Amino acid sequence: VIYCEKDSHKGIIIGKNGAMLKRISTRAREDMEKFFQCHINLRCWVKVKEGWRNREGLIHNFGLD
């Protein structure tokens, strides 16, 4: 899941006809395959969660603290 702050950001991340999301997920999958040395089936979703960057609990859950 890719979280963003606003619905307008969601459109930017997805891109025209999903092109940007495909590019993001392809590069993430390739990096994971190199790291784990096996085939990865990666599915990505973009969700809006307003204020997620300001909520310490969420930051901790993401491992970003």
Q: Domain 2-61: what homologous superfamily?
A: K homology (KH) domain (3.30.300.20)
pTM for the complete prediction? 0.74
**Average pLDDT for residues 44-56, to the nearest whole number?**
84
Which residues touch 7 (CB under 8 Å, ≥6 apart)? 48
52 Cβ contact partners less than 8 Å away, ≥ 6 residues apart? 3, 5, 58
Rounded Cα gap, residues 18 and 9, in angstroms: 13
Q: How does pLDDT run across 5-44, given as a tens digit for each residue?
A: 999 999 999 999 999 999 999 999 999 999 999 999 999 9
Domain assignments of the chain as residue spans, ordered by start: 2-61
